Amino acid sequence: MPEMTFREAIRKGLTEAMDGDQKVFLMGEDIGAYGGSYAVTAGFLEKYGPIRVRDTPISESAIVGTGVGAAMGGLRPIVEIMTINFSLLAMDQIVNHAVKVRSMSAGAAHVPMVMRTVTGGGAGLAATHSQSLEGWYATVPGMKVVIPSTPADALGLLRTALQDEDPVLFCEHALLYGTRGEVPAKPYTIPFGKARIARQGKDVTLVGNARMVHVALQAADELAQRGVQAEVIDLRTLRPLDVETVATSVKKTHRCLIIDEAWKTGAIGTYLAFRVQQEAFDTLDAPIAHIGGEDVPMPYARNLEQLAIPSVQTVLKALKDQIGV
């Protein structure tokens, strides 16, 4: 299989959509002449023109609201919100309009809109540009929240998102754009709500999403040197949430640690722990453990920022202190 970066995989998915359907258009801040803050849409303005690649004013509410109207009118907008932190300015349009149109119209109208956004910390962008808010949106009925960790998943899940008839929040971690991986050459899609077993194991289950999957895999390498075989599960989507795959793994390994980059209080991982406990309680040899980002505004100082985000060391410490692995 050919290799490509996470960025290239997203670009490929967008190109396929734009080439395949004239109703698809892109809209967002700096996506045209500038080529996107993370260079995903570089060259799109020249290829598709300003009607289909629209640079917008700095108004997330207006961007998402326009996308909702365009989608209801028969188009298929791909809205880019430069960072998930800025989505707070469009919260009303996302939560009270985009995801409720179908139910409030009794199915007479729908919003086939993909909202691409960047999430996560670790890039030295301080408190208001480093938040992981995808778990918030995963609590909203009608919302689909997608958060890939590899180039192959980014492309497959984006293709699925672009076929959906309802709004999809597609979250791309800021530190994954340059990562590389094999991507199947033949066309494929990846269904929502189906987690990926990133590594097989029998002694403990590690669960994460986005960059935390990479942290879990590195921790699994460390554990392997001690003779401990960790199974690593990549959730892929937070809504729908694949409880079954995680519970099946826990029934095999009897131990589980869920890793969130989002703040530990109210994290989606704590809800997942509750659901897995319901399904696999009788097979557990230790309580399900959860670690998340520290409950602080993200520090700007590099050393403090690293302490606020789960790392291989914090994963290994949690396994030892909370589970006894």
Which tokens is 65 given?
């609201």
Closest listed residue to residue 210, CA positions, set 229, 235, 231:
235
Angle between helix axes 6-20 and 151-163 (nearest 10 degrees) is 30
Which tokens is 254 given?
């009897």
Which tokens is 249 given?
């793994």
The Cα 10–Cα 156 span in angstroms is 9
Confirm whether 214 is a catalytic residue. Answer: no
CA distances from 260 to 184, 254, 269, 314 (A): 28, 20, 6, 12
**One-letter identity of residue 105:** S
Contact 214/220 with Cβ under 8 angstroms?
Answer: no
Q: Write down the catalytic residue from 8, 80, 129, 261.
A: 129
Q: Identify the residue whose tokens are 């989608």.
A: 71
Which tokens is 203 given?
């002694």
SS3 280: helix
The Cα 241–Cα 244 span in angstroms is 9
Which run of H or E residues covers position 160?
A: helix 151-163
Separation of first and last alpha carbons in the chain: 36
Confirm whether 279 is a catalytic residue. Answer: no
Active-site residues, by number, are 60, 129
